[in-house]
Structure formats: structure tokens, C-alpha cells
Amino acid sequence: MEHFESKAIRGQIDQSQYREHSVPLYLTSSFTFENADQAVNLFADKEEGNIYSRYSNPNTTELIQKVCAMEGAEDGLATSSGMAAIFTSIAPFLSQGDHILVCRSVFGSTHQILTNIFPNWGIAHTYADIDKPETWEGLIQENTKMVFLETPSNPALDLIDLEWIGKLCKKHNILLNIDNCFATPYLQQPIKYGADIVMHSATKLMDGQGRVLGGLILGKKELIAKMRFFARHTGPAMSPFNAWVLSKSLETLAVRLDRHCDNALKLAHYLESHEQVEEVKYPFLESHPQYALAKKQMSQGGAIVSFTIKGGLERGKKFLNAIQNLSFTSNLGDSRTIVNHPASTTHCKLTEEERLAVGIYPGLIRVSVGLEHIEDIIKEIELSIQQSV
């Protein structure tokens, strides 16, 4: 089957002898061997098969195969969380004395890895500004091994031209690693533009209901093999149960995202004309400075809307305190609409200067637009704006 929705629904592992229609849970820590020769061959990688669920499991295998088909990837790896996926997609390729070029607008925990963990291992990084692509090539060093970025960015929703960055990395023989969490493979497929590695926090839109943690890494077979060795011996394995939940969730990803995107665009249009709102960012708003780029490399604008409420930090906090029938939590991509204030939560560890540099203003509100009726979402946002005055 060639269409995205069909791959998501029909991409299942083989039936067992029980002829089940729905793939069962394989809740086992290990797998038995038919004989000594098979055990030797499995451990020596001369034969494919399951040994131990930290290495592989039928549920994680199905999930990986399904997302590979969605992303157009050769191979993949499932991890225990999105941050495990980020770390596992970077660490195996960097050694003491190496350098990584990173888009400045990355998730707060990614920033912590770069600034507080990698320096202890002798790994240096340089931040590049998302709005100054002309400066990126000059930031590449002789020891640069990877470029890492997320597009759209969290939470400012800025974009990077994937075709441009793909060609730049190929020119300098550097690995290109893309965090595709906000778009998912339904809206954007970076491998088509030259990405070597694509990773996801499956906790977000892929699950879609805020139930389980998970991370996914997709890419070229030889790169995944190196990451698989790293993960096999460091242990960030996804549980079979979480893999089963996520595989089931992917069956409805396209249907859910169509509704997410439709609601998000309508909310963005509403907020754009609001007198208490200074700025609205959404990739498919014509007012977005990269609207043409968004239309080029994304099929829809995604589930996230960011807007800056007048009144700064204190007004932002009052807005959140006024929320009643929406959710105030640090997750996103849920069926339920979620609001958050990045400056005081997810990105609070950044300095004010660092936050401003990536578009996180004191009054910035991030809305993960859910599947409720759009009129109810708008009503709740409006009520909170009014009560925060």
C-alpha cells in the first residue's frame, strides 16, 4: 500500500499461530532459543531474531517498521522517551574534540545536554540563529560532525529550509539530524530533503492522548546500526506496552492531525485579530514570515499555535491561572487542548537573553490545539484572556 493512512493501519507484524486480527502484546523480558546454534548466531548477528526486550521485541519492531514506511527511512530504533531519542541520535557520532552545530531554538532539555553534559566529555557546540541562515556555513568547523535542528521550532514556530540545509550538510560531509516532532511524518518528511537522521518524541502527537512516553529514530541503515549498538549497551529501550500503544495510535494519526491542524488554523486566525494579542505565530498563517517555506515543505501547519499576550510575564501567569476547561501541563500533541507559558516552565533554565534570541518573549503562550470543538476552544481562550486583565 502506498498511501500514508494505509501504511499506518496495515503495517503489522505477522500473525501468530492464534490468527489474531489485532497485534497482541509481547510482555516478555527474554526469548527462548531453539538450540545452541541459534543462540550463537543471534548473538553474533548472523541471524535476525529476538533475544532480549532491551534489544528488540515484536511490538517495538512493528512500531519501527511502521514509522520507517511513513518517513521513507531505511531503518529505525525505538527509545524510552523523546529525550532518549535525541541523546541516542547524537552521542554515538561525537567524541572528545568534536563539534556539533545546533540551531539555537531547540528544546530546553536539548540545551541542557549541549551546555552541561557534552562539555564534560570534551564535545563543543555552536548555536546558529534560525533567522540568519547566511551565517551557518561560516560556523562549520573542521571538527564539525553533525548539524542538529528542529523545524518548526519549539515554541516560536520558526522554520528552516530543509532543502537548503540538506545541501549544505552534504557539501561539507556532515550528518544532518532533524527533530521532526512538531510536524510528524504526516506533515513533513525531512529525509526527502537530505536528512540523515530523523527523530521524534512519540510521546506527543504520535501517541496523541498523553498516555505513554516514547522516542523514535529513523534514518540510514548504517547509522541506525551504530545507534542500535549504543542503545543496546546503555539501555534506553522502549517498553513493549508503550510500543503497542503507539503503534495503535499511529492508525489514527492522519485523521487526528487533520482535525488538529484545522482547529489550530482557525484559532490562529481568531487570535490574530485580538486586541489583547501582540503577535501570533503559526506556519500556515499568511502573516508568518516563512509562510511560503511552510507551504513548500509541510502539507499542513501543525497542532501548535504560539501567541504573545500583552502584559508580559505576569500577564502570562495570570492567563494560565485563569484556565478552567483546558489543560495546563508541559505535554503537547494531546487530544485535549493544552496551554503553557514557556518562559516560566519548559524554557525557564535559559537566560532571558537566550529566550529572547529564540523568540520566547515574556508573554508568549504556547497552545497545543486539541480535538475539542473549535468554538469551545476559542471560548475558553477568550475567557482566560479576559480574566487575566
Mean pLDDT of 55-69: 97
Mean pLDDT of 249-261: 97
Q: Would the pLDDT of 228 be above 90?
A: yes
Look up the pTM and report it: 0.94
pLDDT at res. 362: 81
Amino acid at 62: E
pLDDT tens digits, one per residue of 304-360: 999 999 988 888 889 999 999 999 998 999 999 999 988 776 666 667 777 767 677
Q: Would the pLDDT of 188 be above 90?
A: yes
Q: Would the pLDDT of 380 be above 70?
A: yes
- What are the structural domains, with CATH classification, of the chain? 4-250 (3.40.640.10), 253-387 (3.90.1150.10)
pLDDT band at residue 230 using 50, 70 and 90 as cut-offs: very high
3-state secondary structure of 94: coil
Q: Is 364 exposed, middle or buried (0-12, 13-18, 19+ CB in 10 A)?
A: buried
Q: What are phi and psi of 54, to 5 degrees?
A: -70, -25
- The C-alpha torsion from 355 through 328 and 115 to 235, rounded to 10°, is -160
pLDDT at res. 14: 84
